[in-house]
Structure 1
Amino acid sequence: MKPSHPVIDVLDFVSRGAEQSGQTPLSAFSRAADLLPTQVLPVNTESRESPADGQVRWSVRGERTQHGKRYLYLDVSARPVLVCQRCMQPFVYEVESSVQLEVVTNQAALDEDTDTEDLDIDAPDRILAQQSQPILDLVEDELILSLPYIPRHEYTCVQYEDQGSPDRADKKPSPFAALAALKKQ
């Protein structure tokens, strides 16, 4: 077993209250890398942004409560480069995610409470305990879920700063303005 690809026995990990953490190159996550553009730093990275470093930092901790529930706590942070869908320029996106996963031992418990009427939105997601669970699979799943569906700059796009918003950037006089003026007469 390579240290860069840790595998745990989930039930043992939880019962011991074990912890593990690491740093893995973004390129090691093939499913996530397929969703991302080439990870090249933006040319005009502003000083307020933290630079992309191509690394995913993660930690996982197991816990068994006094009521017998088992949990994995997963923290993932990264700074991948995305392409803004407003201005089509690359930017660094900050991923900071913490998730609680309830560990269950059978499929019936995993499928329990899937009725949408009784669904508790605050309840943790569930995972099925495995004897050989690659931690990086859990990290990659959380990384993918943390990426925006439509990436865009948080406030304003750099090329639109002078104009206020991307909606006003392309405003030209309407060719029908003259007709509208005639209609008012």
Structure 2
Amino acid sequence: MTQHSGKPAGLPNPRELDLFEFARSGRHVAGVVRLSQLPRMLNEVPADAPDRDTAFTWQAEGATQPELQDDGTEGPQPYLRLAIHGSAWLGCQRCLAPYEQAFNVDATYRIVDTEAEADEFPLDEDEVEVIVGSRQFDLVDLIEEELLLSIPLVPMHDVCPEVHESLVSGVDGGEGEGNSDEVEGGEPERPNPFAALGSLKRDDPDGEKH
């Protein structure tokens, strides 16, 4: 695995990736990207965080799956699989102190040619996302987008070291406690899209693993 998001010798540049060729040839690329290279994610990190430049490891793999085309013939449909692992410091909404949030992204994308084609894709296909491919696709931008989408709706510690005074000094003295109960459930777990692509490769659209 490379220790940067640039292009190692013999491997495609993840910031200028021919996504269609990458999928058709079944290529694989991996690397490390730092938060300092992801400005939108960096904006989510508190100024007083112990480390504002944490690193994420990632790996991407291209694949194709035979599918029925509009003209009635069967043709190869390109897919991309992306995995991202790492952590970043976020601001806890319960105690207002920084805490370290783990990120583990597993995503599968159906690659299409145009935005119009992406808009026509069925919305009930929740196992496979749709992206518009290009000959100079910025994979690092997609990594940042997935990390942003993976930020919890209410970032917070599992157990806060202490509760901020503003959350326990409400008019009736119980406001902070009520808010804590509302968010205790956290964000629901996302399904694993890799299982969907696995069933596609077996040519069995009904054979999803759970």
TM over 0.5: yes
Map 1:1-185 → 2, pairs under 5 A? 2-3=6-7, 6=14, 7-38=16-47, 40-41=49-50, 54-67=54-67, 68-113=76-121, 119-154=123-158, 156-159=159-162, 170=168
* Separation of aligned partners in 2, 1:111 and 1:125: 11
* Separation of aligned partners in 2, 1:129 and 1:170: 50
User: How far off its partner does 1:149 sit?
Assistant: 2.8
In the alignment of these two chains, the number of paired residues is 154
Greater gyration radius: 1
* Contact 2:48/2:98 (8 A) holds in 1: no
Q: Percent of pairs identical after alignment?
A: 26
Name the counterpart of 1:45: none
DSSP-derived class of the 1:35 partner: coil
Q: Which has the higher contact order (CA 8 A, sep 6+)?
A: 1
* Contact 1:81/1:90 (8 A) holds in 2: yes
* Separation of aligned partners in 2, 1:170 and 1:105: 53
List, as ranges, runs of 4+ consecutive aligned residues in structure 1 with deviation greater than 3 Å.
169-172
Q: Which runs of 5+ in 2 are unaligned?
A: 1-5, 68-75, 174-210
User: How far off its partner does 1:113 sit?
Assistant: 3.8
* Separation of aligned partners in 2, 1:107 and 1:83: 35
